[in-house]
Structure 1
Amino acid sequence: MPSTSVGTEETRLVVVRGNSASGKSSIAAGLRERFGRNLAIVGQDTLRRDVLREHDRPGAANIGLIGVTARYALDAGFHTVVEGIMYADRYGTMLADLVRDHRGVSRCYYLDVPLTETFARHATKGDAALLSQVTDDHLRDWYRERDLLPGGLESVVDATSALADTVTRIMRESGLDRVRPVDR
């Protein structure tokens, strides 16, 4: 597939991946809260489960939809956070193409959280329906240890990094702390 430039030199792309309950959505929300308007969040769960209502499988439609949505947001001038489990073998090519094609600063992070910590973090979620639907057996089945993208594309964030510290790190390393939000 030929390269198609996306975004501008000013746009920032942040990819946050990791196992279920590793903190991806919390980090994306923290980035938006810290940054303000003009930061798009492209969530795998939203597009896969809510928009398409499809299973996560190789070649699924949500993979392309995530890429197209992120590209659209970047082309519209939004800084963009793509977040989700996004297994490397299924989503890796789309993510690598997106990073390669982005004209601005791109940073990718993998949240490396052990399975025991995954169980503990999941138990703290406030959504009772989710807690009853997603069991420890599900979390165990979905868990992939250090499912890193090839080529050293990601920085690893371990489980000892507090949410606020991780958000600060990503803000600094992506340059989001040096650009002003646009009130759209």
Structure 2
Amino acid sequence: MPVVTVGTRETRLIVLRGNSASGKSSAAAGLRERFGRNLAVVGQDNLRRDVLRERDRPGAANIGLIGMTARYALDAGFHTVVEGILYADRYAAMLTDLVREHRGVSRCYYLDVPLAETLRRHATKGDAAYLTHVTDDHLRDWYRERDLLPGGIETVIDASSALADTVTRIMRETGLDMVPAVDR
């Protein structure tokens, strides 16, 4: 079977995983703001909840859609951030295949935030309707401690890392801080 490749040697693939309220979406937004155009953000919540309106279950359609969307963006020359809870038991095969097949720099990060801090951060979200819909009981039910991908491919960033520091670290470690943005 031929080896499948995706992206180019110049593209960067960043995977951001962690529990709810760990800062994944904020870090992805910070990367986009700092880098500029030509950075695709492939968000699990957007594709699973908004596009497909699907529950997060093993073998669900969103898993393939996330992978296909990331591949398409990389093949089109976009640096790509895949972000979401992305439970290891459901998403590991897709994510590890994507990392293995990407021609450029790939880095995976797990934002490790304890449950107590998850609950504190969640309470600070400004969307009152969301806070009513997603309760502390939901967060406790969804929470998985150190749900790391197999093979040690993730860098763990703990809750003590401020958002700006996390973004700076990822920019540096992926080389995005040395790559010019392309105005598309």
Please give the TM-score of this superposition, normalised by the length of structure 2: 0.99
Distance in 2 between the 1:108 and 1:175 partners?
14
Counterpart amino acid of 1:150? P
Give the SS at the match of 1:120. helix
Letter matched to residue 39 of structure 1: L
Amino acid in the other structure paired with 1:156: V
Root mean square deviation, CA, Å: 0.8
Shift of 1:3: 3.5
Partner of 2:156: 156
Q: CA deviation at 1:2?
A: 5.8
Distance in 2 (alpha carbons) for counterparts of 1:89 and 1:73: 25
Alignment of 1:8 onto 2:8 = yes
Aligned: 1:55 with 2:55:
yes
Q: Which residue does the alignment assign to 1:120? A: 120
Question: Counterpart of 1:146?
Answer: 146
Give ranges in structure 1 of 5+ residues lacking alignment. none
Residue number in structure 2 paired with 1:77: 77
Consecutive unaligned residues of structure 2, counting only runs of 5 or more, are: none
Partner residue in 2 for 1:65: 65
Task: Indicate the SS of the match to 1:180.
Answer: coil
Aligned-residue identity in percent = 84
C-alpha distance in structure 1 between counterparts of 2:11 and 2:128, whole Å: 37
- Give the Cα–Cα distance (whole angstroms) in 1 for the partners of residues 43 and 164 of structure 2: 20
Letter of the 1:80 partner, please give it: T
1:40-68 Cα offsets, whole Å, 9 max, x none, are 00000000000000000000000000000
Aligned to 1:98: 98
4+ residue runs over 2 A deviation: none
**Given residue 176 of structure 2, which amino acid in structure 1 is its aligned partner?**
L
Alpha-carbon offset, residue 128 of structure 1: 1.1
Q: Amino acid of the residue matched to residue 123 of structure 1?
A: A
